[in-house]
Amino acid sequence: MTEFFKKLDKEIKNHQNIIIMGHKNPDLDCIGASLGLYQAIKKECYIFKTTDKLNTSMKKAFQEIKKQTINFIDKTNYKQKINNTLLIIVDLHKQQLLEHQPILKEIKDIIVIDHHITNTEKIKAKLEYIRPKLSSTTEIITNYLKYTKTTIDPVVATIMLAGIEIDTNGYNMKTTTSTHQAAAYLMHLGADNILKQKILKENKEEYIKRTKQIEKSYMIKNMMICPLDDEIYNPSYLATLSEDLLRFENVEASFTIGKVSPKEIGISARSLGNINVEKYMSALGGGGHLTDAACQITTNNIKEVENQLKQKIEEVNQ
């Protein structure tokens, strides 16, 4: 990581402006990493602000950020800042997910920092640091704060801590010693546990909705399948739900099936480690890792995808 940080420092030094950009439908890891990085960069720097609808936690995080002096930029005014500019992309590396894709043609010096499973449609970058084994992008940025000995605003430290918590589903997924060390370091930087809880508080209606979805899930062997209704969901919602299902007794693997666009059904698969979910997802045209995989199928029929999955569960030998 240190080698990457050295190169990152050099790139920052060699540019006049920095723009930090995350993915569409940003989450707390994405914004936490952006804010942490922003505070470590001691020169003209902007965070590209989303125009997407924010979820409850993100709205609360932005309310807290409002009290800070952070330079945001958006698609209406960023063009004044694209000369001698370094674009740092955080928490994604797949082109289609980028907040504002046209920028890729306007800025040529790009750095990508991410922790998602490597995808083929990668953004062409001058420098990249993609580590799918790490819990979150915030974990990487926290290490950068340590490396640069940056002190940050306690509110930013709090949002970063919430970001790690969201991406690990409460230190359950992809959590290692270094994840806990990063969390401890954020506490040391002033992260506030009470404010973090306020930011993470769930909306009651959303909680009830999720409980009803879990109610409809069922077991095949030691795997839990949870088909959703006809609404369109963010793929990260499917992932979180699958992670939640792993909490239940006898569940070794979980699959959440739902519409991710009008003509696309996604499956998000998670495993505790004894079942290789990547095998099922690649059999359905997707991919991923042993404990963490997904696929997307072009159709609008959830039942059809559910049946295909059940068939693969019968066919694929572990």
* Minimum separation from the CB atom of position 108 to Mn ion (A): 25
Identify the residue whose tokens are 């480690």: 273
Q: Which residues pair with 129 in a beta bridge?
A: 113
- Judged by the rule CB under 5 A, the positions of this chain that interact with Mn ion are 29, 91, 136-137, 167
Residue 5 beta carbon to Mn ion: minimum distance, rounded to whole angstroms: 19
Which of 29/99 has CB closer to Mn ion?
Answer: 29
Closest residue by Cα to residue 280 from 265, 266, 295: 295
- For Mn ion, which residue has the nearest CB? 29
81: Cβ–Cβ under 8 A, 6 or more apart, which residues?
17, 19, 46, 73
Tokens (6 digits) for 105: 């043609």
Between 49 and 81, name the residue whose CB sits nearer to Mn ion.
49
Min CB(308)–Mn ion separation in Å: 28
CB of 28 to Mn ion, least distance (A): 9
The residue behind tokens 């500019």 is: 85
CA 41-42-45 angle, 5° bins: 60
DSSP state of 55: P
Tell me the closest approach of the beta carbon of residue 270 to Mn ion, in angstroms.
15
Give the shortest CB-294-to-Mn ion separation in angstroms.
14
Please say which residue, 141 or 281, places its beta carbon nearer to Mn ion: 141
Whichever of 136 and 158 has its CB closer to Mn ion, that residue is 136
Q: Is 46 left (phi over 0), alpha (psi -120 to 50) or beta?
A: beta
157 or 239, CB closer to Mn ion? 239
First to last CA, the chain: 34
Which CB sits closer to Mn ion, 29 or 278?
29
Residues 6+ apart with CB under 8 A from 105: none
